[in-house]
Structure 1
Amino acid sequence: MLRSDGAPAPGLDVFLAGQVFMDMIFTGLPGLPPPGTELVTDGLGSAPGGVANIAVAMSRLGLRTGLAAPFGDDMFGAYLWRTLCEQEDVDLAWSRRVPGWSTPVTVSLAYASDRSMVTFTRPPPIPTDDLVAEPPRSATCFIDIDRPVPAWALEMRRAGSLVFADLGWDPTETWSTDVLDRLADVDVFLPNAVEAMAYTRTASPEDALAALAGRAPVVVVKTGSRGAIAVDSATGESAAAEALPVQALDPTGAGDVFAAGFVFGTLAGWPLGQRLHFANLCAGLSVRHYSGSLGAPCWGEIASFGETGEVAAEVLERYSFIVPYIPETELERGADSVTRAEPTLR
């Protein structure tokens, strides 16, 4: 990102720490295989998963992205490292290859409009937070508040970084409100509607947003196919934006891609409504591809989408504010400037 005077800002735009998974996605299935049977399909995609979903999405928007994560020293770990570092330009200076540790793997079985997943994972011998001995200079960092806010994120916030946070599904379904107390150390909170309603004991996304407002300066509630709603307690802004009207192929990682778009819009200084529209645009473009990470849009795809005729002109007009931010080089390269997770493996 550039500063207001046009010069590059120092350090990173965003820093993350977490677990990277090898995602394998089987498609074209009629359903799950019954016990003792075998299903054969000609659809298979593979891509980096886990925290890589959001790291790739941010990097594809031109954000200078740093990642701290352990990688296995097996062939999956080598593929993930190479893909993130060389293909996606994610800075892995804080990451490590761990000898003797197997890379986590998630197999997704996609059928009809649903999916089931099986995951293999073992705790890494090096805790992820231990990889961040010295937090980098970064405009923002992104964390999950399923656990206490890590010390490196607190240190970065004291140094001026904005802390963005999400959270995942509570497998215990107790939805302890103690989790929300961690928002005192967060600047932007981006839960989905189901999680927001569960933690606030409310019956609608709007009521959940009202309950969360003030716990963090900016709260965004993602409402899936309906779009997103948000409030900025510091400025008094509130906004809502409809989702991009596209045919969804694979929703994997759409929430992460939304978050990447919202981070970009925040660093660009856009009003709350524009940040929501851009985040919805990025998420909507991503669900048209298989996989969460390699399905994230680049600027070339964002630019060329307006020429496909997929949505009405009055819908495209909502996104006209984005045009000045599209790099000239991406306009020339177009939508094919990134590598996609292919639905078939030949």
Structure 2
Amino acid sequence: MASKFGVLTLGDAMITLNPAEKGPLRFVTHFERKVGGAELNFAIGCARLGMRSKWVSRLGEDEFGRVIYNFARGEGVDMSDVAYVQGYPTSLNFKEIREDGSGKTFYYRQQSPILTLQPEDITDRMFEDIDLVHLSGVFLAIHPKNVEIAKRVMDIAKAKDIPVSFDPNIRLKLWSMEEARPVYSAVFPFVDILLTGLDEIRLISGCDSEASLAEFASVNTIDQLVIKDGANGSKLYTNGVWHTKEAFPVTAVDTVGAGDGFDAGYIYGHLHGLSSADKLSFANAVGALVTTVSGDNEGLPYLEEVWPFIHRQAVIER
């Protein structure tokens, strides 16, 4: 039975090529093909938690584009507003892992198919039966035009009284903080739920203390300021009060995608009316479970996995 709650997000997706061997990429000859992308990870995370999840995007009319389309559709994501385009190859990224565990990511997305998406492609019809819109800073960083697309999305959402969540998801390989800050400043007044890492919000706002962060939320009329801090847990500022929740102890093998999973978990909690503490707890649990599996989205849990995990941890703590 489909959830009564529908979520819409939009953005680029990529084929991720993970090295089969460690060391500089020039010596690596075998790669494992995966599917990645912050917004698509979020959409998959929401679908696995039982929500109706719509992803708006463009894919290259090529074999990799078909891989992404079929993968996302197989995860239950609504692909009705995803189109193939010619002349724009599906984006790629290659990961490099050194012997000491450090790594780099090399992006090949300069001619991303998402560049063909135009503001006029965003129509009222897309928002039918949608209860929340989620945007990411990755989409904004790809091309200046995307700011106008995001603005149109937020305008329609506001006109329909649909709340907007936003994750800055800073990618300094795509743009500088000097370029990003004014864009974020233009977006924040439209945002109801800001889901940000602690380091990210420090870079964006210069705020560090709870008092200054609370002032930042007030100035930008952000109803829920959610701060992700990895193994240190998370906190939420809303209605003049801070709420804090510790992280769940897990053995992390890969933190990629954990933030996207946290976002999906928090939005699940928000739409289902959980308390502030329970929203953080649920989001922390989803994020923790993601880290226990290698891959961008392989570890995103299903709803029937999350509640037992939370309950087991509660028993252990007692």
Judge same fold: TM > 0.5, yes or no.
yes
C-alpha change, 1:98 and 1:167, in structure 2 (3 Å) is same
Find the aligned partners of 1:39 and 1:123 in 2 and give their Cα distance.
Answer: 25
Residue 253 of structure 1 contacts residue 292 of structure 1 at CA under 8 Å; is this kept in 2?
Answer: yes
Residue 134 of structure 2 contacts residue 165 of structure 2 at CA under 8 Å; is this kept in 1?
Answer: yes
Residue 61 of structure 1 contacts residue 298 of structure 1 at CA under 8 Å; is this kept in 2?
Answer: yes
C-alpha change, 1:281 and 1:129, in structure 2 (3 Å) is farther
**How much does 1:277 deviate?**
0.7
Q: What's 1:141 paired with?
A: 133
> Given the alignment, which residue of 47, 61, 69 partners 1:59?
47
How well do the aligned residues superpose, as a CA RMSD in angstroms?
Answer: 2.7
**How much does 1:291 deviate?**
1.5
Find the aligned partners of 1:15 and 1:184 in 2 and give their Cα distance.
Answer: 19
C-alpha change, 1:178 and 1:296, in structure 2 (3 Å) is closer
Pair 1:238-2:226 in alignment: no
Q: What's 2:161 paired with?
A: 160
Residue 108 of structure 1 contacts residue 117 of structure 1 at CA under 8 Å; is this kept in 2?
Answer: yes
Quick one: which amino acid aligns to residue 32 of structure 1?
Answer: P
Q: What's 2:303 paired with?
A: 299
Q: What's 2:121 paired with?
A: 131
SS in 2 for 1:51: helix
Pair 1:223-2:216 in alignment: no
SS in 1 for 2:244: strand
**How much does 1:113 deviate?**
4.5
* Unmatched segments (≥5 aa) in structure 2: 141-146
C-alpha change, 1:66 and 1:129, in structure 2 (3 Å) is farther
Question: How many residue pairs get matched?
Answer: 298
* Unmatched segments (≥5 aa) in structure 1: 3-7, 318-346
Find the aligned partners of 2:267 and 2:283 in 1 and give their Cα distance.
Answer: 9
Residue 27 of structure 1 contacts residue 109 of structure 1 at CA under 8 Å; is this kept in 2?
Answer: no
Q: Structure 1-normalised TM-score?
A: 0.77
SS in 2 for 1:219: strand
C-alpha change, 1:92 and 1:142, in structure 2 (3 Å) is same
> Given the alignment, which residue of 88, 105, 126 partners 2:92?
105
Q: What's 2:11 paired with?
A: 18
Question: What aligned pairs does 1:44-83 form with structure 2 within 5 A after superposition?
Answer: 44=32, 46-83=34-71
Larger Rg, first or second structure (1 or 2): 1
Q: Cα deviation per residue 1:157-203 (whole Å; 9 max; x = unaligned)?
A: 2212110011132542336366234221111001111110112213x
Residue 197 of structure 1 contacts residue 208 of structure 1 at CA under 8 Å; is this kept in 2?
Answer: no
Quick one: which amino acid aligns to residue 96 of structure 1?
Answer: A
Quick one: which amino acid aligns to residue 179 of structure 1?
Answer: Y
Q: Structure 2-normalised TM-score?
A: 0.84
Pair 1:118-2:106 in alignment: yes
- Whichever structure has more helix as a proportion of its residues is 2
